[in-house]
Amino acid sequence: MKHLLKLQDLNKEEIIDILNLADQLKYENHNGIEHHLLKGKTLGMIFQKSSTRTRVSFETGMYQLGGQALFLSNRDLQIGRGEPVQDTARVLSRYLDGIMIRTFEQKEVEALAEYGSIPIINGLTDYCHPCQVLADLMTIREYKKSFEGLKFCFIGDGNNMANSLIVGAITMGMECAIACPEDYKPDPELIKWASENGKFTCSPNIYECAKDADILYTDVWASMGQEEEKAEREKVFKNYQINDKVVAFAKSDVIVLHCLPAHREEEITAKVFEAHANEIFDESENRLHAQKAVLVKLLQD
Ligand code: CP
Ligand code: NVA
């Protein structure tokens, strides 16, 4: 494992390895055991979009591992004034031990990896969000003990989250159902891959997808960068909501997850959100532990 550019970079064994280390780091963290596995290391964090969880969990994670993190907003970097990513990659590789980047185009993340000589971690692009899904898988395993025989259901936009969740669910052997409008499907290549490699459906029928689900998942209707489409999307996604009726189709012990930030009464009702707040905030906490595991795997000598 040299980089984490997308979840497809990892096979099932590598994901389990990360989740096991994440569990151990979480246990140690909760029990006051320090683990300075990245003493003296520096992670650069390039943000071209907003963030609460990704920024704070990576920064805190590096600190807890004995290293440090630098917040690099594109407003301050020369990248924001047009310096090519190829040059930025080669310069930053001389100073840093790793880079986490949140940006729009996936190809920018790939270019950093191609031109730089240090590990690159994708902190969200328009195409995918692998760090979030590692935390999601960690949370699913905490609640359900194993992935065996589980049905995973995502309701909403076939966006970056849906793309990475498909990869995560199918790779771990779960059944995967994506409920989304016809014109808002996930990446076609991933749909093809999922259909060939597991039990997969993608349909506009929310109830069929939610039926007997062990995990229900949703995300915002309009992602970062789609602000101008907000009004149009509110109409299209009106019925793609996790509410009591949808939950009633799932298994009685269903867990509900959301990567956050959440928009109540849009993709999820306040009632369902609060009823499942424990799972959702465990999921959020697990960003810290899962990413620390990724950092150790990638940055440790
Ligand atoms: N889920 C997630 O990535 O949150 P932030 O946008 O706050 O980082
Ligand atoms: N789909 C959302 C995820 C935020 C974590 C976005 O890209 O804005």
3-class SS string, 114-146: HHCCCCEEECCCCCCCHHHHHHHHHHHHHHHCC
Looking at the structure, tell me whether residues 277 and 137 fall in a common domain: yes
Looking at the structure, tell me whether residues 125 and 186 fall in a common domain: no
pLDDT at site 80:
87
What's the CATH number where 197 sits? 3.40.50.1370
Looking at the structure, tell me whether residues 94 and 170 fall in a common domain: no
Looking at the structure, tell me whether residues 180 and 108 fall in a common domain: no
Binding site residue list for carbamoyl phosphate = 51-54, 78, 102, 129-132, 259-260, 287
Beta strands in 9-49 (DSSP E): 42-47
- Give the neighbor-by-neighbor strand order of the sheet with 98-102: 68-73, 42-47, 98-102, 120-122
Looking at the structure, tell me whether residues 115 and 136 fall in a common domain: no
Residue 87's φ and ψ, nearest 5 degrees, are -75, -40
Residue 215's φ and ψ, nearest 5 degrees, are -135, 130
Looking at the structure, tell me whether residues 257 and 293 fall in a common domain: no
Cα-Cα-Cα-Cα torsion 2, 8, 57, 93, nearest 10 degrees, comes to 30
CA 55 to ligand 1 centroid distance, Å = 8
Residues 97 and 41: beta-carbon distance below 8 Å: yes
Tokens of 215: 């995990």
51 lines ligand 1 (CB under 6 A): yes
Instruction: Provide the domain limits for residue 89.
Output: 3-129+286-299
Handedness of CA 16, 17, 22, 25 (dihedral sign): positive
48 lines ligand 2 (CB under 6 A): no
ipTM for the whole predicted complex goes beyond 0.95: yes
Looking at the structure, tell me whether residues 192 and 66 fall in a common domain: no
Closest ligand to the CA of 161:
2
Instruction: Count how many domains the chain has.
Output: 2
Residue 84 CA to chain centroid, in angstroms? 26
Residue nearest to atom 1 of ligand 2 (CA): 223
Measured CA to CA, the distance from residue 41 to residue 95 in angstroms comes to 10
**Choice from 54, 187, 220 to test ligand 2 binding pocket (greatest atom count within 8 A of CB):** 220
Looking at the structure, tell me whether residues 140 and 104 fall in a common domain: no
- Point out the ligand 2 atom lying closest to the alpha carbon of residue 132: 5
Measured CA to CA, the distance from residue 114 to residue 99 in angstroms comes to 13
Q: Indicate the SS3 state at residue 153.
A: strand
CA 45 to ligand 1 centroid distance, Å = 14
Looking at the structure, tell me whether residues 265 and 138 fall in a common domain: yes
Q: Indicate the SS3 state at residue 217.
A: strand
pLDDT, one tens digit per residue, over 177-194 is 999 999 999 999 999 999
220 lines ligand 2 (CB under 6 A): yes
The upper half-sphere exposure of residue 28, i.e. CA atoms within 13 Å in the direction of its Cβ, equals: 18
Looking at the structure, tell me whether residues 136 and 275 fall in a common domain: yes
Looking at the structure, tell me whether residues 8 and 111 fall in a common domain: yes
pLDDT, one tens digit per residue, over 129-143 is 999 999 999 999 999
**Which of the following is catalytic: 3, 233, 276, 287?**
287
Q: Which residues of the chain have pLDDT under 70?
A: none
Closest CA relative to residue 223, chosen from 179, 293, 159, 171: 159
Tokens of 300: 């440790």
Among this protein's residues, is 102 annotated catalytic?
yes
